[in-house]
Amino acid sequence: MPRSKGPAQPPAETGPAAARHLPEATLVRLTQYLRALTELREAGRARASSEVLAEAAGVNSAILRKDLSLLGSYGTRGVGYETEVLAQRITECLGLTHEWRVSIIGAGNLGRALSGYGGFRNRGFSVVALFDASPDLIGRDVNGLRVANVAFLEDVLTFTRTNMAVLAVPGPVAQGLVDRVVRVGVRSILSFAPVVLQVPEGVTLRKVDLATELQILAYHAQQAAHADPERS
């Protein structure tokens, strides 16, 4: 903090775990930095400059430095960042020291794909339950989990101490499930259902929508075709 305004007043951090209210765009990039740092560490690099890190994360170095400065001063001028220290710091900020217990609702193709996704088990996420409504699926073993009956959703969520829910169900039933999940205290939901969902204050909902992604690609492809009408 090289500049003091008026009477010296250190910025009153409540400790190294501070950093309130990170911008949404920064959060997305922090996860990328974390991945890049993991790769660099596996490659044996103890230090990296903002330039190197930015390259590995696929962003420019100015925004990387700006993002990291929001977490506090964790680099060394003239040298760079220590990969281990920085990775630890980002992990802390993102709340990944906490253990997150994820339940997946919907054991169709997508739900099964998610339950087997390796990225979950890393970094403090563990899948603790998988639900479905279909008698054909209930009781079956999927990636080491027994598919539970969604009729018992509330009991199982409570018993497993679930604190994150992933919805991989058809649109029409999604809102009802959101309501049930919220009622037993889950406050973080990731939905793959292509519908608008309402959640009360204090509950975070994120959506992934495959149709939206394709439609945006279509737009850009069409634009490119306008500029250069060649390959369809």
Partner DNA sequence: GTGTGTGAAGTGTTTCACAGCT
Partner DNA sequence: AGCTGTGAAACACTTCACACAC
- In the region spanning residues 58 to 77, those forming contacts with DNA, defined by CB under 7 A, are 59-63, 65-66, 68-69, 73-77
Binding partner of residue 122 among a second copy, DNA, none, CB cut-off 5 to 8 Å per kind = a second copy
Compute the least distance from the CB of residue 130 to DNA, in Å.
Answer: 34
In the complex with a second copy, the residue whose CB is nearer, 114 or 129, is 114
- Asked if residues 36 and 57 have their Cβ atoms less than 8 Å apart, the reply is yes
Any contact of residue 21 with a second copy (CB under 8 A)? yes
Q: Where in 66-125 is the site for DNA (CB under 7 A)? A: 66, 68-69, 73-81
Q: Is 110 annotated as a binding residue?
A: yes
Which token pair is 217? 């690609």
Nearest to 10 by CA among 1, 21, 19, 22: 1
Per-residue mark of binding to a second copy, 130-159 (x: CB under 8 A): ------------------------------
Which token pair is 168? 């991989």
Q: List the beta strands (DSSP E) in the chain.
A: 47-48, 75-76, 80-82, 100-105, 125-132, 141-142, 145-149, 164-167, 188-191, 204-207
Any contact of residue 72 with a second copy (CB under 8 A)? no
Distance CA 115, CA 124 (A): 15
User: Residues annotated as binding site for NAD(+)?
Assistant: 106-111
For the annotated binding site, the residues are 106-111
